[in-house]
Every structure is written in C-alpha cells, then in structure tokens.
Amino acid sequence: MAGEKVFTKSETRLKRRPLPSNNFKLSANQQLAISHRNKPLIVTGGPGSGKTTVLIETAIARINEGQDPNSILLLTFGRERASEVRDAIALRTSETMLEPLARTFHALAYSILKSEGHNPILLSGPEQEGWIRQLVDGVAWPAELQPALHTRGFIRELRDLMLRATERGWTPEDLEVNGKKYQEEFWVAASKFWKSYIGTLILVDADHGEPKERLDSAQLIWRAANATRSSFNSQFKTILIDEFQESDKAQRALLANIATDDLVIAVDPFSTVGRFRGADPDGLQEALSPYQSKGDVIQLTENFRASSAVHLFLEKVAGEFPKAPNTQSSSAEFAGSVVAECFIDGANEAAFIADKLQRAHLEGGLKWSEMAVIFRSPAQSGAVRSALMRYAIPVAGELQVLSENASIAPFLLMAEAAIRGKVDLTTAEILLSSEFGGADSISLRRIRRELVAKYSSATGLSGTELICKAITDGQFEIPSGQSLMRVHDLFDIAERTAKKKASQPEDLLWAIWSNAKTDDNQLISEAWRDRALKGGFRGANADRDLDAMLQLFESARRFGQRFRYANLLDFFKDIRKSEIAGDVITAKGQRPDVVELLTPFSAKGRQWKLVVVAGVQEGIWPNLRIRGSLLGSERLAERDRNPDLAAIELELVAKAAVAVDELRLFYAAISRASQDLVITAVDREEDQPSTYFDLAYEFCNPELDFEAKRSINKASNLLSTANVISKLRRELLANGSTDAAATLKALASAGISGADPSDWYGVKPISSDAPAIPEDEDVRVSPSGIEKFDECQLRWFLETHGGQDGNTTAQLIGTVIHKFAELAETSDTNLDSQIELLTANWKLVDPETGWISRTSMGRAVLMLKRFYKYRESMAGKRTFKESEASYKFKIGRAFISCKIDRIETTVDGKLYIVDFKTGKSAISIEDAKTDAQMQIYQYAVGVDVAGASLVYLDHELKGNKTRDQQPIDRKAVEERIERTAVIMGGNRYLAVKNSNCQFCNVNSSCPLQVEGRGLYE
C-alpha cells in the first residue's frame, strides 16, 4: 500500500537500554560485605541499614566478575519482594537467566521437587482451609470442641497447629505422643484428624480428575529438605538470604542441605514479623551458629532510610526490647517528623488520617504511593478505607472473600446454573434481582403474577416453575418481561459455552462477564468502569467490584491450569464455599499510584515517605493474647524448644514471647517511614490508647510530665473537596470575594463537582410559585395523609411527590396482614391455615434470607395471632359486617377515596369502624380523639356510627392495644377537610419540627435540618 512502511527482518532489532550503574554511596561495611569471599558471612543491621542492598550488590558483583548468574540464588520472603529484588538485579545486568535469580523458599522447594521428577500442587491458604472444613467432621472431637468445629477460627487454628507441627518436623504420631505426654488432649484428637487429612490429599486430586500430589506450604519445604539431604546436585555456588529472621525450622533445614561456602545471610532479629506464620526468632541464634562458627559477621551501623526524627523514635522504641538492638547512626539528610495524636472516636481518627494524606499530596507534593497506613490487623482498616474514599484518595484494593461480594455472587450463580442447565427459584430470584436482571421485589411479584395469569392454565405450571422455565427456555412473553429476557439471553450464552468441550472456568466466566448488560442495555463491564472513573462512594464500590472480578478471573485461570481435566462445576463450588480471601498469586509489576493499607507483615521490606501507624489501642497493639490458644499452636512452638518445662512455666515463656513479638511488629511498622511518621489512636472511656501510643506521645511531647493528660482531638478544618468548595462558596456569597470566585471557576472548569454555581441549590431563583394543583381542580386527600400534613406540611408535600422509598418489608407485612384479616371473614380459613400460608409464601413478602427476614416473619405470625385474639374478644360485643369497604366522596375541593379495614355492628345496631395498625408505635389516647383518619372513616360511613377504634397488632407494643374515638361532629370534620385541601393544593408548605423528624425520609431537603440547610442558604 502506498506510503506504508514495510519492515524487513534485518531492520527490526531489539535494543537493550544502557545498564544503569548504582548511583548511591555504599558504607565501608557494606563494601566489606560485598567483597567478602569463600566463607559464610552474616550481615546484621537494623531497618534501613542496607542489608538487602548488600545482597543485590553482591549478586551483581559476582555476575560482573564473570560468574554464571544461574549459579547464584537469592532467597527472600514473599513473592512480591522476590520480584522486586529480581527486577533490581535484572536492570543492572545483561546476562540471561534460565531461572529467577531471586525467589522465595517455596519457589525454590518447588523447583527442587520438580527437578527430582515430582509435580506437586502447592495448596494455597484458602484451599487448605476449605479442605480442612470439608474433612473436619470425620474425626471424633472432644465434646467441648463440637460447637466450634465449623467456625473460621477453629479451622484456622487447626491449620496453624498442623503447619507449626510440620515446620518443626513433627509427624501426626509425634503430635499424639506429645499430646498425651503434656496433657494437651486436643492434640490427640488433632493428630487423628491430621492423619486422615494427609491420607485424603491424593484422593482430592483424583476427584479433580488428575492425580497430583498436594502439599501445604510446610510439607513442601520439608519434602525439598528431605530430597536434598543426601544427594542433591546443586547448581548454586553462591547463596544469598534476605530477612533470615523470618525463616522457620524447615527452611533452615533446607538451607543447611544446600548451603555453600559462598553464603551471605542478612538478618535482623528485632524485625521478625512472621511469627504467626511459623518464623522462629527464638531459635535464630542456634540456627546461625554453624555458619557463624566458620564464617564472619559484619554489622551495618548506619540507617539510610529514616529521617532523623523517625530515627530518634526508633531508638526510643528499641530501648523497650529486653535485649536492646544495636542502634545505628542516622545518615538522614532531612529532619522529618513524628506526630502522635489521639481522637474522640474512630471516625475522627479516620478523617484526620485522610486529611493528613490529602495535605501531604496537595501541599507536600508526595505521590499517593509514597504514603501508607499500617494497622495491627486488617479488620481495623474499615473506617480509614471509607474516609479515604470520601476524600477521593485512591486506595489499594483489598483482598475479598469472593463469595461474599454481592456484585460477584450472581455471576457465580449464573455460571453454576448454566453448567447444570437449570435454575431453582432462589437462583432465579437472585439472578433477576442482580444488576443484569434489574428487577426489584415489586417487579418480581409482577413478573410472577403476569406469568401465572397468562400461562398457568395452559401449561399447568406453577408460578415458581414458570419463572424458572422462562429463564432457561425463554419462551414466555409478558409485558414486564424485560428482566426475564435479559437473564434468559445471558443464561443461553453461558449454557452454550459451558457445553463446549474443553471449556475452562475462565471461558465460562468471560462469556457471562462480556455479555452481561444493565437494564439500560449497557455492558456491565462498561457500567462498572464508568462508575469507577467517576470516583466517590459509588466509584469506590465499582473499583472494589472490578478488583473482585479480576481476582475471580485469576482464580479461574489458576484452577484451569492446575486441574485441566476437572469438572467445570468444581471451580464454582470451591469458590462459593470458600470463606476466606484468596492469596494474591500474581506478583505485582508496576505499583499503581495508590495509598496502601497494610499490616506490619505485608509492609515488610518496603518503605514510604509518610507512614501512618493507626489504631494503636490497648488490647489491639500489643495484642498479648496467646495465638492459637484453643488448640495450642503457640504452645507447640514453645514446647518444641523447651521439652522439659512445666506447663505453667511454658505458658509464661509463651506470654513473654508474644510480648516481644508485638513490640517487634510495632518496631517493624514504624521503621517503614523514611521521612514522616504519624501514630494515631482513639482515647475514650472504653477504648484507650496503648503503651506503644504513650511511647510516641511522650516522644512528641517531652515537655509534658508523666501524669499530664493527653489532649484528645476532633478532626477539624479538613481538606476535603467538599469542605474547600463550601468554604469558597461562603467567602464568595458573604464578601463577594473575587479570589474565591476565580478559584471556583478554575475548579469548575477542571470538572470538580460542586464548584459550578449552576450546581448550587440555594442560588437558583424559585422555578415556579404557581399552586401545586390548579385552583379549578380537585385535591386528592388521603385520610392517613391529613395527620401527616398537620404534623409537617413540607414532609407531606415532598413524600407525596416522590420523596418516599418503595414498599418496605414492614409495609408489605401490613398489606399481607390486612388481606388475611379480610380472608378470615370471607373465606374458609383459620389461624393455623393462615400461618401455614404465610410462612410458605414468605419469600413473596421478603425475598431476603437470614435472621432479619426470619424475625420479620415471626412478627407477622404474631400479628395474625393477635388479630384472631381481637376477634375472640369482640364476641358478644360487636359483630363483623364488612371488610375493605370502599368509599368515594367530595368535601369542598377535597376528593376522598378510602377503604375501611373493617366495619362492625354494635349490639344496638349501630355501625363501628375498626382500622388495623401494624406499626411498632401507637398514637396517644388523647390524639386518637381527633385522629383525622378515623374521623373521615366515620364521616364516610354515615350518621349512625357509634365510634371508631385503631387496633394495634404488633406484639412489641405494650399496654392498651386500642385507641378509641367517639362519634364525630360532621360539620367540624367537613371544615377541617376543606381547610386542609386548600393548603394542600397551594404553593407554600411549612416545615414544622416534631418528634418524628428523626425518622424523616426527606430531612436532606429540610431547611430546619443541618442535612438540608445547604439547599436554601
């Protein structure tokens, strides 16, 4: 084609970038370590002392000297860390490597077993826990453990116990023997479980159609250690190990088998953070001594990371260890800062943190990825995550339990239904009410009604069968059938994909994901992307859902690779049963520019300019509870080290170990900060800052004496977009500030929402002052609306013009109970048959499951019982005459249309009005005397009325259950209605503060409430 450039083979060349050289200064001791040769070397030093740098430079120096890079092994902890170190080396050398130079112990163990002809599968944590859960009932556990067996905590303790035992080289028999010897009765039961667990791992693989050996992480390392014990032909001449303090016994055994004389071990005993994962800091010295005895030790004494303020605080915390680490001298060129603040509650703490990060970004110029927030436990991060989202601060996605993500669950269900080729009612309802179904509980009922009306008699199918069949076969057409058709079309595509030979879970998921559409006919993938890009709360949720979808695809891909012949359904069943977040399998390449929320363990080996250590509360950090205290995984670790200690002493040793462990975690967390460190806590009666916070507070406020009270803050003057815009608006409106106007203009043109005056409610003129209803038209007045109108006209107006939610479950219960009350008089039913009918069809009232729905059903049953009790109590006093009696009439401009629940006849032949109430609160006896609804009903029925009653059916209502009204003065009622109708049809509605303001749906549009004031000011 003319003008098109054709590349020939010889013209296309890949050119490597010039290799960068290291552009930082190494200390004398670092240089000494890098040039050390021919015997083991132990490099010690605190956080930021440059130990990892020594290992990287050692590898590069060896390669530059001509050593084959494939003969160098750098072991580290964690896939991400290995990948970072690998990249750092790869960028500085042009040599080709056959296998990754830097890897984890697990990756090394895996490649050793593969080279020996094995092809095992490493069980991830969630997989292992899922498998334990399935097997846990197969053993006779002591009675006291029975209630806990299926809890997440117990499964995790059991997993930990088996892992700790495996890491220490124990067998199930050792666990049983030691259980008996040390009176650990649960170990004996656990040993039986462990035996059957090991035995079933091969069976599991057969289930998945491809026999492979499955190993957990501890078993994998021991297998490799055993394989290398006698005859291992190692390719590695140089072995470098980072963070040796995180190693367990099994890893040390593996190292002992493959270690060469060119061995460099980097270690900092005070930074161990993985004790809960088997790290063994107490056995560290013993593990190092064989290498130390024939080698050298070099201590790195400078801190290259921390600013001088952070460094000084690190020194203070180091002083808390029973045997203090050697503190280093700081090489910091800048002062940095340490701040300790406590707050009145978690919301203020979270807002302060969000503000701090926002200011560091906007005013300090830090990238988001240069900041992190560290918590002792991931469960603490919720409030901060929400606050960051409110501030539109990009925050790293969290690991999620996929089956618990409400947006993902319908995709999993759709896949399972497509594989099975059928759906049941529960699945059908979830699919129809999902984002790709788009139905709500009201339209679900409508769909059912229309299907039954049109097809039931011709097909003989029930409503349930029709809904399910409409999804799988798609042959029914009804006016409200758009949701059905969308779900059917997607089901059809998914089913065809599932039926294809060799289809993998990933293919099926892709078929569903890439075809699912919203009710606006937009692809869900695009809808989520658009929402995510818009930011805010909805954007953050969409972000989270997209992350979850990626996580799901990644899990599906892994499953497909590992079990190529497995049944498709197995994957979806596994995922839906999984109760814990999946492991991140893929190493991250480029880190995105987001703030990360981490634990000390996940922050290990990394650094940020600004680190916030949050939630430093008593009982949380330090958390002195002994880990695995039920089954005793911590005691097992201590017992292995101290076989002869009495139980009571062992407990003390374990407690002391936990205390030091907690301090190490704190030390590791604060040492991640290179420039500024912020430590926060909440200070209130039931929730006190911990001693670690006190350390920081004293450090930051040296002038305060020991007894002085901490100052407790409220987060104020925050730098959120909304706050800044409202401040500028106030300045502009109050003083006509041209600066404020110019800034708002700039913000508006940058697309910042709320900055453009056309978005401001209070600034716009009134759009119309015409009456709501033209003067020559009737005003529809509902009997129950008059009381609401008298209470607050504004609320009445807004609610009757769209400001009301759809039918709530409570309203639907009311409708159902009224219907049953009517049926009790007009059909052949009784209390038992009505209760049966109600409970069997409860899903139509509340499609949800769970205890809230069950409680509502219980309430409804009690209401029915109370209605029957009311009927009995009327025997001999009044008799039933009519139910749901309709009346329509006009008074002045008011047009009234009403239905009366029940009309009864008194013994002297007069009529009596009864209105059933299903709400949880009753009006007062006094208010009932003038209640407009009862007045209108009396007016509607005529002159011969003996009175009216409201009868309350909710069981929670104590005391008198009826509110009575005497016969009315018809003239007075007429005047009241006429007067009300005129104001209702007018153009002004008064907001009147009242006792129900707290339940008001429209308070965000009310000038009397903080939430709504902005609309008018």
Burial 74-108 (b: 16+ CB within 10 A, else e): bbbbbbbbbbbbbebbbebeeeebeebbbbbbbbb
> Which CB atom, from 290 or from 1007, has the smaller least distance to ligand SF4?
1007
796 binds ligand SF4 per the rule CB under 6 A: no
> Which CB atom, from 407 or from 1009, has the smaller least distance to ligand SF4?
1009
Q: List alpha helices for 228-371, DSSP H.
A: 249-258, 284-294, 308-318, 346-362
> Which CB atom, from 837 or from 997, has the smaller least distance to ligand SF4?
997
The single-letter code of the amino acid at 889 is F
* C-alpha 995: how far from chain center: 36
Long-range contacts of range 418-421, CB-CB < 8 Å, 24 or more positions apart?
418/491, 418/494, 418/495, 418/497, 418/498, 418/508, 418/512, 419/498, 419/508, 419/568, 419/569, 419/572, 420/569, 421/472, 421/495
Long-range contacts of range 275-279, CB-CB < 8 Å, 24 or more positions apart?
275/657, 275/661, 275/664, 276/160, 276/601, 276/627, 277/248, 277/601, 278/163, 278/164, 278/167, 278/218, 278/248, 278/250, 279/245, 279/246, 279/247, 279/248
Selected range binding ligand SF4 among 65-73, 274-282, 354-362, 1003-1011, rule: CB under 6 A: 1003-1011
**Shortest separation between residue 999's beta carbon and ligand SF4, angstroms:** 8
Q: List alpha helices for 801-931, DSSP H.
A: 809-826, 831-840, 842-845, 851-873, 925-928
**Shortest separation between residue 1016's beta carbon and ligand SF4, angstroms:** 12
**Shortest separation between residue 794's beta carbon and ligand SF4, angstroms:** 4
> Which CB atom, from 371 or from 1006, has the smaller least distance to ligand SF4?
1006
> Which CB atom, from 452 or from 1015, has the smaller least distance to ligand SF4?
1015
> Which CB atom, from 142 or from 762, has the smaller least distance to ligand SF4?
762
CA distances from 732 to 37, 81, 508, 738, 834 (A): 72, 51, 56, 7, 65
The helix (run of H) or strand (run of E) holding residue 609 is strand 608-613
Q: Is the dihedral of CA 890, 894, 899, 900 positive or negative?
A: negative
Selected range binding ligand SF4 among 92-100, 449-457, 815-823, 990-998, rule: CB under 6 A: 990-998
Does the bond joining 771 to the residue before it have cis omega, within 30 degrees of 0? no
> Which CB atom, from 252 or from 795, has the smaller least distance to ligand SF4?
795
The single-letter code of the amino acid at 7 is F
794 binds ligand SF4 per the rule CB under 6 A: yes
Token pair in block for residue 581: 């977040």
Selected range binding ligand SF4 among 478-486, 495-503, 791-799, 952-960, rule: CB under 6 A: 791-799
Selected range binding ligand SF4 among 99-107, 345-353, 835-843, 995-1003, rule: CB under 6 A: 995-1003
Q: How far apart are CA 291 and CA 298, in angstroms?
A: 13
Selected range binding ligand SF4 among 181-189, 840-848, 857-865, 999-1007, rule: CB under 6 A: 999-1007
One of 72, 310, 945, 991 touching ligand SF4 (CB under 6 A): 991
Dihedrals φ, ψ of 519, to 5°?
A: -70, -10
One of 156, 997, 1004, 1014 touching ligand SF4 (CB under 6 A): 997
> Which CB atom, from 881 or from 993, has the smaller least distance to ligand SF4?
993
The single-letter code of the amino acid at 589 is G
Contact 210, 243 (CB under 8 A): no
> Which CB atom, from 670 or from 1000, has the smaller least distance to ligand SF4?
1000
> Which CB atom, from 860 or from 1002, has the smaller least distance to ligand SF4?
1002
Count of residues of this chain found to bind ligand SF4 when the rule CB under 6 A is applied: 15
Restricting to residues 893-932, name those near ligand SF4 by CB under 6 A.
none
Selected range binding ligand SF4 among 11-19, 361-369, 701-709, 1000-1008, rule: CB under 6 A: 1000-1008
Q: How far apart are CA 12 and CA 261, in angstroms?
A: 45
**Shortest separation between residue 970's beta carbon and ligand SF4, angstroms:** 30
One of 992, 1013, 1016, 1017 touching ligand SF4 (CB under 6 A): 992
1009 binds ligand SF4 per the rule CB under 6 A: yes
Cα Rg of the chain, angstroms:
36
CA angle 402, 408, 409 (to 5 degrees): 85
Per DSSP, 265 falls in state: E
Contact 246, 78 (CB under 8 A): no
Half-sphere exposure of 369 (CA within 13 A, CB side): 5
- The closest of 295, 284, 292 to 323, measured between CA atoms, is 284
Coil, helix or strand for 867?
helix
One of 36, 390, 795, 963 touching ligand SF4 (CB under 6 A): 795
First to last CA, the chain: 66
**Shortest separation between residue 313's beta carbon and ligand SF4, angstroms:** 49
- The closest of 822, 784, 812, 816 to 901, measured between CA atoms, is 822
Dihedrals φ, ψ of 15, to 5°?
A: -115, 130
> Which CB atom, from 453 or from 992, has the smaller least distance to ligand SF4?
992
800 binds ligand SF4 per the rule CB under 6 A: no
Selected range binding ligand SF4 among 71-79, 666-674, 777-785, 1004-1012, rule: CB under 6 A: 1004-1012
**Shortest separation between residue 980's beta carbon and ligand SF4, angstroms:** 16
One of 400, 1008, 1014, 1015 touching ligand SF4 (CB under 6 A): 1008
- The closest of 270, 304, 265, 242 to 49, measured between CA atoms, is 304
Token pair in block for residue 469: 């069949």
Give the pairing type, strands 337-343 and 302-303.
Answer: unpaired
- x-marked contacts with ligand SF4 along 945-984 as a string, rule CB under 6 A: ----------------------------------------
Contact 584, 125 (CB under 8 A): no
Selected range binding ligand SF4 among 17-25, 164-172, 505-513, 985-993, rule: CB under 6 A: 985-993
> Which CB atom, from 34 or from 792, has the smaller least distance to ligand SF4?
792
- x-marked contacts with ligand SF4 along 413-442 as a string, rule CB under 6 A: ------------------------------
Selected range binding ligand SF4 among 287-295, 714-722, 735-743, 996-1004, rule: CB under 6 A: 996-1004
One of 993, 1013, 1016, 1017 touching ligand SF4 (CB under 6 A): 993
Coil, helix or strand for 583?
coil
**Shortest separation between residue 995's beta carbon and ligand SF4, angstroms:** 9
Q: How far apart are CA 683 and CA 688, in angstroms?
A: 5
Selected range binding ligand SF4 among 300-308, 626-634, 691-699, 1005-1013, rule: CB under 6 A: 1005-1013
1003 binds ligand SF4 per the rule CB under 6 A: yes
Selected range binding ligand SF4 among 461-469, 503-511, 590-598, 1001-1009, rule: CB under 6 A: 1001-1009
792 binds ligand SF4 per the rule CB under 6 A: yes
**Shortest separation between residue 1003's beta carbon and ligand SF4, angstroms:** 4
Residues of the shown chain interacting with ligand SF4 in the complex, contacts defined by CB under 6 A: 792, 794-795, 991-994, 996-997, 1000, 1002-1003, 1006, 1008-1009
